[in-house]
Amino acid sequence: MLRFVSLFFAFVLVGSLSFSQTKPITVVRADNDTPLAGVWVYDDAQLTVEQTDEYGTFDISKFADNQEMIFFHPDFVRRVLTKKDIERENFTIALERISYTSDEVVVEGHRFGNDRAQIAQQTSEVTAKQIEFDQPRTMGETLEEAGVYVQRSQYGGGSPMIRGYTANQVLLVLDGVRMNNAIYRAGNLQNSIQADANAMGSVDVLFGPGSVQYGSDAMGGVMVFNTLDPLPSLMKGSQLGVKAFTRYATANEEETVGGTMQYGLRKWAFLGNVTYSGFGDLRSGRVLSDAYPDYGRRREYVVRENDQDVVIQNDNTSIQRFTGYTQSNLLGKVRYWHNSNFSATYALIYTTSSNIPRYDRLEQYRNGALRYAEWYYGPQELLMNRITVNAAHGGNLYDDAEFTVAHQNYQESRHDRTRDNDFRNDRVEDLSMISVNADLSRDFGPSKLFYGVEGVFNDVQSSAHKTNIVTGEEQPQSTRYPDGGSTTSSLALYGGYRFPVSSRIVATAGLRYTQNALKSKFNDKSFYDFPFDEITYNSGAPTASLGAVCSVASWQIRGALSSGFRAPNVDDVGKIFDSGDGVLIFPNPDLSSEYSYNGELGVDRAFGMFSAGATGYYSLLRDAVLIRDAQFNGQDSILYDGDMAKVKSLQNSGQAYLTGFDFHAKARLADHVTATTSLSYGAGRDTDGDLPMRPVPPLYGRTSVIYETQKWTGELFARYNTWKEVQDIPLSGGEVSIYTPDGVPSWWTLNLRSNVQVVEHLEVVASLENIFDLHYRPYASGVSAPGRNLIVSLRAAL
């Protein structure tokens, strides 16, 4: 009898499992339950790739039971599901059409899983569809859409500020490869524009420390730029897709053209993308503040005529001479799928620009006259070659693995000439960087182990000379970085474990150890007689993180504790640079790492047609790297490029704190109408020097009302900043000229944009920014923002 009962239940169990595996699975539209064809279904590494047919079905048998499947269609919100999730949804997977206010559920840049519902850290994402609607000039505008504050020293730039950290305290990652190199500088860093916004599949921002996942520099946050991926053809024969666009803007006379081509075979896929942009001199807003009628006006500028510098009165003081430049970007990818356990991808990324004028320096005055006749960055070039291998089912070692080897060649240069001086200073930096990453994961039922190793090597060569622009004669000049060359290296191991605490709580713990080394050589001491021949650094840094997400009904509560660090790079310890009017940054061989200890708590809740959330954070910065007074051979001032300058250096200076909050809300006002708002506030202080922390912007936010149908979308939105009082700004040197005597005035703009699908494969996107043509200059920026600006794009797809 007992054997009969056992056999009966075994038969029932096997029958039910067989039914679960054979019952058809259908992907449908959430709005009308009709089958959705052309949905890509793949694992995180895109090793197993399927596509739904005209009935919305696909072959699920190729996916493992616990494997997360990503459902992707360019017009619908992505979902991440396992087979158990699909069974709970009764084998029907509903995808919601992408709205420009949709919340993405997939976070591409997080190394401890990509399901937003399981990530304790505050995140934000901008999708490819949103980028097309936003019409960003550079990556800086895309980061602003993600809630990041962006500073600009010149129009060809964009330096992100995240939670009071900036420049080399935040990390840029391009297709899984760190962009931060040994000469990413402190202060402001404009290199985000080297990532082409028009080539992105998505842009993810991880707010707060990412040091456990990414190592040094990821103290304030991580910005992950995910370029478009080639996908195979799952139909008979090949698949070819072509997209092209052109854009024009009035405030800077922008002319941009670009295109993307995809070609897919069964096992091979190819993708190419190219973008060219030309920007003229930027026109700022004409409506000025009564209190500061001259603020941001370009009254005069210097030109060269008959081998003489001539000061020209600007006939239109809203035109910021000189701010224009050009930029070119190229992306190429090839991917091969051997089987569902192995694929390999080769990617080439190249970006270059024309000379980019350093506008904040061109505005500087000395003794009542313009100081510089020329100050510009030479072409900023980046060439990246990357090979990535994805593997699955590695026995007990891993379920999924990604191995990446990348090489980057990077060149930047600085060129400056004071007025009525025939000699121009030319300083050139060449850098080569090699990085190796291995990222693996292993499933243990509902839990998951992540672990990996990273190695990075930088080689920096710095050269300089003075050039007589009349005769062409060249003379020796001091270099920006040690003339004998510099190298840095790092080796790191990390691990993370994600596990369910209960049916409603998921926790993730992580640990990383990084060993960093640096060596810089000073050969030529004819300019500065340093008391040392080289600078060396070798130190290790452990970091840890612990976070949890609790989901209860319509509530989600997130909490995280973490530590972060930044090891000093060549720019920190070996730079010789005029940072402002009469201030010289000098090398410091005694500099060491800075560390942060952080906590954040976030709450999100949905109330039917309304949702809201807030995140508060606190960061304690120890051994903070800050600019302090220094001496060179007993002197507090020395001669630099013919001018006396006060000596300062980057030093470990006690501690500082940073705190703040982010708030967001969304409401469905009516059919097709949605309102959103977001606010960010930060505060911070260098407690050792009793000074405010510079990279803390004032309260800023964005409020929007959007109307959206399948073929037409319109958005009316406002951006705004509050005052930043002068006592809350740590002023030094040339920074004084970019502010009013009272600080940075508050500002707001009203903006409108819309897109219309004219025919099936043709779309027009138009924006009118700063409708009231108000003049404003964002905090810490050396260039005023665009005035009234009409932007029109034409997009075609075949």
Summarised one tens digit per residue, pLDDT across range 646-665 is 999 999 988 999 999 999 99
Decide: helix, strand or coil at residue 647: strand
Dihedral sign, Cα of residue 191, residue 350, residue 139, residue 276: positive
Phi then psi for residue 355, to 5 deg, are -60, 140
Dihedral sign, Cα of residue 98, residue 102, residue 106, residue 107: positive
Decide: helix, strand or coil at residue 303: strand
Q: What are the CA-CA distances from residue 133 to residues 199, 227, 261, 385, 496 (Å)? A: 14, 17, 20, 30, 37
**Could you tell me the two tokens for 266?**
């069964």
- Which residues, including other chains, have CB under 8 Å from residue 503's CB and lie 6 or more apart? none
Is there a contact between 142 and 771 (Cβ–Cβ < 8 Å)? no
Helix (H) or strand (E) holding 18, with range, is: helix 2-22
Classify the phi-psi angles of 187: left when phi > 0, otherwise alpha if psi is within -120 to 50, otherwise beta: left
Dihedral sign, Cα of residue 94, residue 95, residue 101, residue 103: positive
- Check residue 117 and give its pLDDT: 82
Strand positions, DSSP E, 65-211: 69-73, 76-81, 92-95, 123-127, 149-151, 159-162, 165-166, 171-174, 177-178, 200-207
Distance of CA 192 to the CA centre of its chain: 6
Hey, what CATH topology would domain 23-97 get? Immunoglobulin-like (2.60.40)
As a whole number of angstroms, the distance between CA 178 and CA 163 comes to 20
- Check residue 731 and give its pLDDT: 74
- Check residue 62 and give its pLDDT: 85
**Could you tell me the two tokens for 36?**
């959705």
Q: What are the CA-CA distances from residue 24 to residues 35, 61, 67, 71, 337 (Å)? A: 12, 11, 19, 16, 27
746-776 b/e (C-beta count within 10 Å ≥ 16 → b): ebebebebbbeeeeeeebebbbbbbeebbbb
Q: What is the DSSP letter of 198?
A: G
Is there a contact between 457 and 406 (Cβ–Cβ < 8 Å)? no
Distance of CA 653 to the CA centre of its chain: 28
Q: Radius of gyration of the chain from Cα atoms?
A: 27
Contacts by residues 263-267 (CB-CB < 8 Å, ≥ 24 positions apart): 263/230, 263/238, 263/239, 264/230, 264/231, 264/232, 264/233, 264/238, 264/239, 264/240, 265/232, 265/233, 265/238, 266/232, 266/233, 266/234, 267/232, 267/336, 267/337, 267/338
Q: What are the CA-CA distances from residue 455 to residues 208, 556, 744 (Å)? A: 23, 37, 42
**Could you tell me the two tokens for 78?**
């992505």
- Check residue 109 and give its pLDDT: 67
SS3 sequence of 510-531: EEEEEEEEEEEECCCCCCCCCC
- For 412, how many CA atoms within 13 A lie in the half-sphere containing its CB? 17
- Check residue 31 and give its pLDDT: 83
Phi then psi for residue 511, to 5 deg, are -145, 140
- Check residue 105 and give its pLDDT: 65
As a whole number of angstroms, the distance between CA 482 and CA 460 comes to 9
- Check residue 17 and give its pLDDT: 40
As a whole number of angstroms, the distance between CA 790 and CA 798 comes to 27
Phi then psi for residue 400, to 5 deg, are -135, 140
Other CB atoms within 10 Å distance of the CB of residue 292: 15
As to burial, measured by CB atoms within 10 angstroms (0-12 exposed, 13-18 middle, 19+ buried), residue 796 is: middle
- For 207, how many CA atoms within 13 A lie in the half-sphere containing its CB? 32
Q: Which portions of the chain are predicted below pLDDT 70? A: 1-23, 100-106, 109, 579-581, 732-736
As a whole number of angstroms, the distance between CA 767 and CA 469 comes to 43
As a whole number of angstroms, the distance between CA 375 and CA 535 comes to 30
**Could you tell me the two tokens for 609?**
């047609």
Q: Which amino acid is at 24?
A: P
Decide: helix, strand or coil at residue 532: coil
- Which residues, including other chains, have CB under 8 Å from residue 687's CB and lie 6 or more apart? 654, 655, 656, 657
Q: What is the DSSP string of 401-468?
A: EEEEEEEEEEEEEEEEEETT-SEEEEEEEEEEEEEEEEEEEEEETTEEEEEEEEEEEEEEEEEEEEEE
Is there a contact between 177 and 386 (Cβ–Cβ < 8 Å)? yes
As a whole number of angstroms, the distance between CA 186 and CA 650 comes to 9
Task: Break the chain into its structural domains and give their ranges.
Answer: 23-97, 226-797
- Check residue 560 and give its pLDDT: 98
Helix (H) or strand (E) holding 360, with range, is: helix 359-362
- Nearest CA to 499 among 544, 458, 541, 549? 549
- Check residue 73 and give its pLDDT: 87
As a whole number of angstroms, the distance between CA 426 and CA 420 comes to 17
Is there a contact between 438 and 403 (Cβ–Cβ < 8 Å)? yes
As a whole number of angstroms, the distance between CA 285 and CA 776 comes to 7
Summarised one tens digit per residue, pLDDT across range 464-492 is 999 999 999 999 999 999 999 999 999 99
- For 370, how many CA atoms within 13 A lie in the half-sphere containing its CB? 24
Q: Which amino acid is at 505?
A: I
As a whole number of angstroms, the distance between CA 689 and CA 685 comes to 9
Question: Cis peptide leading into 527, omega within 30 of 0?
Answer: no
As to burial, measured by CB atoms within 10 angstroms (0-12 exposed, 13-18 middle, 19+ buried), residue 499 is: middle
In words, the CATH class of domain 226-797 is: mainly beta
Residue that is written with structure tokens 């309102």 in the block: 675
Phi then psi for residue 728, to 5 deg, are -100, 10
As a whole number of angstroms, the distance between CA 488 and CA 344 comes to 29
- Which residues, including other chains, have CB under 8 Å from residue 14's CB and lie 6 or more apart? none
